[in-house]
Amino acid sequence: MSYSDDRLLGYIRRVNLDLMWSRERGTVANTLAAVNKGRTMSIELGLVPQLLKLGPWPLGDGQGFQTAIEMLRASQKKGKNDASYVQFDTVRKIRTAYATLYENSAAAGNHTSTFKGAHGNTFSVNQGSTDTRLFRKFMVGLEKRMGRLVIQNAGISVELLLAMMESMEAEYISTTVENERKRELIICGSAFVVLFSAALRGGEVLLGEASELVRRIMEGKRHPNHPHVLFPMMGRFKGETGERNLIFCVTNSSQSGIPNRRWLERLARLLRLESRHKEAGPAFCDRDGFVISSSFLNKELHRNLSNLQASRPDLISRDVVVTEVYNVYRSFRRGATTRAREAKVPKDVIELNNRWNKVERKSGGMPNMSMADLYTEIRQALATKLRFSKSL
């Protein structure tokens, strides 16, 4: 037997074992005991025990065995969170890819039956190999065996944010800092305060829109009861078709002193100076007008946090690996949510702010309203809209 055949048999055996142990050990034992008990009852009655035809499998692969083997092989590669293997949530994407490919094929179109249920919901009978009972049981067994190693982004505390913004402020006003570096500070500093005050994920803040930000930067500055600053967003949001406008409304300065307006006004002046306000475009952009990446923000975040780790170990312990623990994707959102809870902000206010994309799609999607119409609606519930950012 060749080495490749021997290795392949090992993978096949592993698939079978994952399939078999998709059920708990006790369930398997109880099933075996029940079968043996049934055979004993037949013998007591003078009957020949049942001989269920369990195999063999027919020649060919109609059960997704090859896909399962590919996933097992992929799991043995070097992973991001663990150098010895790849996580289950990563290797299962192979199954998703094959399922998507099949569902959009001519074969599926000719053989898939579709049923319409209540409220217009549709259900399909899928004959793809990755939806067989064998493959689904293999997936359960694989997940049980591998488990999940989840490394969550640590939340940025408000104290840590303020120390970081103070450091960036000192660098920005320094006369020895070059203009290009000041531009980076404006882009990143304004992104950081919005990420925290609106509890956004890293990718969401990059939907900030330049022309409306410049146009509306002074609105709400001297509101008699609720001074605020607007952060307009424009783009294609997950789960929707077409592009839509949104406006986030945050206080000029939070309870702890997060300087939202100061940094957003600097961003607006920069965009006007570079003539980005004449037509719609990204607010967080490079010199050529292209939207920056999350990695650009992460680089600045990690730079500032590393400096604070050296000078302020009371804020970040020196044994923390900054680049692994903090990320713009969730660190600001997680920290802001924790801060709001500590400030006794009602749960429904936190949910309204943090689940904005779900709340606004609750009735099947919102029409694409103009920025002016959106701001008109916001002003009707301004106190509620600002309650989250004001408490931070």
Mean pLDDT across 30-35:
91
Is the pLDDT confidence value at 115 over 90?
Answer: no
Mean pLDDT across 88-108:
85
Binning pLDDT at 50, 70 and 90, where does residue 370 land? low
The tens digit of pLDDT for each residue in 133-172 reads: 888 898 888 888 888 766 677 889 999 999 999 999 999 9
- Count of H-run helices and E-run strands, the chain: 18, 4
Binning pLDDT at 50, 70 and 90, where does residue 358 land? very low
The tens digit of pLDDT for each residue in 215-258 reads: 989 988 888 888 899 888 886 554 444 456 777 888 898 889 99
Higher-confidence position of 392 and 284: 284
Tokens encoding 369: 């309203």
Query: Which residues pair with residue 209 across a beta bridge?
Result: 282
Contacts of 211 (CB under 8 A, 6+ apart): 276, 277, 278, 279, 280, 281
Binning pLDDT at 50, 70 and 90, where does residue 189 land? very high
Q: Tokens 């982004």 sit at which residue?
A: 153
pLDDT of residue 244: 63
- pLDDT averaged over the chain? 83
pTM exceeds 0.95, yes or no: no
Query: Which residues pair with residue 251 across a beta bridge?
Result: 228
Is the pLDDT confidence value at 186 over 90?
Answer: yes
pLDDT of residue 356: 55
Is the pLDDT confidence value at 65 over 80?
Answer: yes
| One-letter identity of residue 192 | F
Instruction: Decide: 8 and 70 in contact? Cβ < 8 Å.
Output: no
Contacts of 254 (CB under 8 A, 6+ apart): 158, 197, 260, 389, 390, 391, 392
Just give the CATH number of 158-391.
1.10.443
pLDDT of residue 377: 62
CA gap 82, 79 in Å, rounded: 5
Is the pLDDT confidence value at 30 over 60?
Answer: yes
CA gap 16, 29 in Å, rounded: 17
Written in H, E and C, the secondary structure of 172-199 is HHCCCCCHHHHHHHHHHHHHHHHHHHCC
Q: Which of these ranges, 39-43, 128-132, 230-234, 366-370, has the smallest mean pLDDT? A: 366-370
CA gap 65, 11 in Å, rounded: 10
| One-letter identity of residue 317 | S
Binning pLDDT at 50, 70 and 90, where does residue 362 land? very low
pLDDT of residue 153: 79
CA gap 339, 162 in Å, rounded: 13
Domains of the chain by residue range: 1-21+63-150, 158-391
The b-or-e profile of 240-258 (16+ CB within 10 A means b, else e) is eeeebbbbbbbbbbbeeeb
pLDDT of residue 38: 93
pLDDT of residue 270: 94
CA gap 306, 309 in Å, rounded: 5
